[in-house]
Amino acid sequence: MRTSTWLAGVAAATLIGTAVPASAETPPPTPSSGTASRLATIQTEMAGAPAGHMRPLWQPATTTGVTPRTIGVPGGYDPDVLRAHLRLSGTGKGQTVAIVVAFDVSAAVTKAVTSYSEWYGLKPPCSETVTSGCFPLKVVAPNGTAPIDTDTALPARSFQVEADLDVEMVHAVAPDAAITVVEGYDNSTEAMMAALDHAVSLHPAVINNSYGMDEFDGERDYDGRCTATGVLCVFASGDAGNPGLWPAAAPDVLAVGGTTLDMDSAGKVRSEVAWQGSGGGISPFEPRPAYQRAAVPNGTGRGVPDVSFDADPQSGFAVYVVIDVSPFPIYYDDWAMIGGTSAGAPIWSAIAAVADQQRAAHREPPLTAGQVHAAVYAGKTKTLADITAGANGLCDTCWAGPGYDLVTGKGSPRAGIDTYLARH
């Protein structure tokens, strides 16, 4: 439901917190050789994760030098370009974004976001020695984390990359938001759902979840975890095209698909089409929710995704990656260009946090999934670009087209999306 007239006091969207590289005299960092192949090996092997286990959904670029070259050779969009593109009205100040991952990521993610922030002139994470001019970053493990051995080293490494990506994307778009990383014991369904339950109990503004698994009979028994408290849960829809993944298929979450987004250095869109890896389709297990009855063209199941953002790793994001899986030696400590629907999900989580910042200024509670779905499916809005070209598979419903589609949902965010969400 649209709030009354409080929005009248909200200023026009402005670019806030422009990041600047640490020093104009400092040469841009260059990754060590083998960047793409080393990271690609992790995700190739993770594709064979056993049943009942979640896999993170980041994808590395297979080439380097893609413009804009914001950090040298890796390329990828940086905080300046992202915020110039979205033109959000705030920085997420006063809001908390929870991020659910698996295994122990604490040392890796702290080092990664510190390096990322230093290069781009963003606030570093607060610590015992840094208590001002910083942003709150917590890493909690409510059920402990699994010991690392030869069987768990691979998924632990993959989830460390996921945590690095998620935290940096939220911090880039909502630089003043607090971030709490919640670690699951391992990447089993039960452990990840327990971590999600703990994240819900913290009552953050939004919970980001950039992982998934193939849908299965009985998945509905796990649904509804965010509904009881009204916390907005954002899930990546998957990186393997049709049919998409669960829990993004759950009806009470915001599912984020992928596009290939080409922008100039000022954030102006040159083109945007559906990304071929964008997870999407009709769920065979989840019934169609009421908010989709008029929008989804075929079938009786839940349509995935709801919205989208750049996920093509070849038009991806500059990310500082640290993989440090003790007792094994440090495996990676370098820049990379990364995409995947797990990049779009934290950016949408950051957008929601900025919208909640507006709502908090007018003593309104954070957005719920129901409110976001109502806003997204309300009709045409200039704050969601309708993506009408591209596909994610060889099927009758795998094509992007006018209105809602099973590749990019209702579209990709544009300037004013935070204000549009906040007032609905």
Calpha distance 262→145 (Å, rounded): 39
Where residue 18 falls among pLDDT bands split at 50, 70, 90? very low
Where residue 392 falls among pLDDT bands split at 50, 70, 90? very high
pLDDT at residue 123 is higher than 90: yes
Query: Which tens digits make up the pLDDT trace of 261-298?
Result: 999 989 999 999 999 999 999 999 999 999 999 998 77
Q: Is residue 206 part of a domain?
A: yes
Q: Which of 334, 353, 384 minimizes the C-alpha distance to 99?
A: 353
Q: Are 419 and 355 in contact (CB under 8 A)?
A: yes
Where residue 299 falls among pLDDT bands split at 50, 70, 90? confident
How large is the average pLDDT for residues 98-110? 97
Q: Are 170 and 349 in contact (CB under 8 A)?
A: yes
Calpha distance 248→255 (Å, rounded): 5
pLDDT at residue 332 is higher than 90: no
Q: What is the pLDDT of residue 236?
A: 98
Q: What is the pLDDT of residue 410?
A: 97
Q: What is the pLDDT of residue 37?
A: 73
Q: In this prediction, what percent of the chain has a pLDDT beyond 70? A: 89
Q: Is residue 211 part of a domain?
A: yes
> In degrees to the nearest 10, what's the CA dihedral of 204, 325, 34, 80?
20
Q: Is residue 55 part of a domain?
A: yes
Dihedrals phi, psi of 246, to nearest 5 degrees: -105, 145
Cβ density class 324-333: b for 16+ within 10 Å, e for less: bbeeeeebbe
Query: Which tens digits make up the pLDDT trace of 370-380?
Result: 999 999 999 88
pLDDT at residue 1 is higher than 70: no
Planar angle of CA 159, 245, 420, nearest 5 degrees: 90
Where residue 327 falls among pLDDT bands split at 50, 70, 90? confident
Calpha distance 251→302 (Å, rounded): 7
- The dihedral through the CA atoms of 292, 262, 210, 55 has a sign that is positive
How large is the average pLDDT for residues 73-100? 94
Q: Is residue 125 part of a domain?
A: yes
First CA to last CA distance, the chain:
5
pLDDT at residue 389 is higher than 50: yes
Q: What is the pLDDT of residue 154?
A: 93
Domain containing residue 325: 34-422
Between 44 and 289, the more confident residue is 289
What is 228-253 written as a DSSP string?
TTT-EEEEE--SS-TT--BTTTSTTS
Which 3 state secondary structure label does DSSP give 411? coil
- The amino acid sitting at 226 is C
**Beta-strand relationship, 269-274 and 281-287:** unpaired
CA distances to 133, 169, 170, 173, 228 from 349, in Å = 23, 9, 7, 9, 19
- Whose structure tokens read 């510190």? 114
CATH number of the domain that 396 lies in?
3.40.50.200
> For 66-80, 140-154, 374-388, which range has the lowest pLDDT when averaged over its residues?
66-80
Q: What is the pLDDT of residue 375?
A: 97
Q: Is residue 5 part of a domain?
A: no
Q: What is the pLDDT of residue 398?
A: 92
Query: Which tens digits make up the pLDDT trace of 46-80?
Result: 888 888 999 999 999 987 555 455 665 568 999 99
Q: Are 305 and 237 in contact (CB under 8 A)?
A: yes
Q: What is the pLDDT of residue 182?
A: 98
How large is the average pLDDT for residues 84-102? 98
Q: What is the pLDDT of residue 252?
A: 96
Q: Is residue 95 part of a domain?
A: yes
pLDDT at residue 418 is higher than 60: yes
Q: In this prediction, what percent of the chain has a pLDDT beyond 90? A: 76
Where residue 319 falls among pLDDT bands split at 50, 70, 90? very high
Q: Is residue 16 part of a domain?
A: no
Domain count, the chain: 1
Return the structure tokens found at 346.
């934290």
Q: What is the pLDDT of residue 4?
A: 31
SS (H, E, C) 174-223: CCCCEEEEEEECCCEHHHHHHHHHHHHHCCCCEEEECEEECCCCCHHHHC
Dihedrals phi, psi of 330, to nearest 5 degrees: -55, 125
Q: Is residue 370 part of a domain?
A: yes
